[in-house]
Amino acid sequence: MGLVNGGLALVFAGLAIIAFVLEVWALVDAARRPADAFPAANKQTKRLWLIILGVATFFGMLAALGQVTTLGIFAIAAFVAAVIYLADVRPALKEYGSGDGRRMGPYGPW
């Protein structure tokens, strides 16, 4: 039974690390977007998304480090928050640019 439990623990640790990377990506992406784009895309404010994703990244880090159980409700909620941002909010914000100062034309930056 020890081999099975060790294997499952390894799988869950890998999933926690993948979830943490996804949460960091969502947080960095939200930080790079212009604040005016969020209400223009009919989404919550940038500040609220940064708070949500910051807390999600914190709990994701704890899960990746093994400080909370990887199936804990907070780790799952953190992953869901990052997925909602990346699947719903990010595509709506893409048409407003990344906020890094570059102008995008139909074929790339100009």
Q: Tally Cβ neighbours within 10 Å of residue 61.
A: 17
User: Which residues, in sequence order, are CB contacts of 34 under 8 Å at separation 6+?
Assistant: 46, 96, 97, 99
pLDDT tens-digit readout, 52-93: 999 999 999 998 888 776 558 888 999 999 999 999 999 999
pLDDT tens-digit readout, 19-45: 999 999 999 999 999 999 999 999 999
pTM score above 0.75? yes
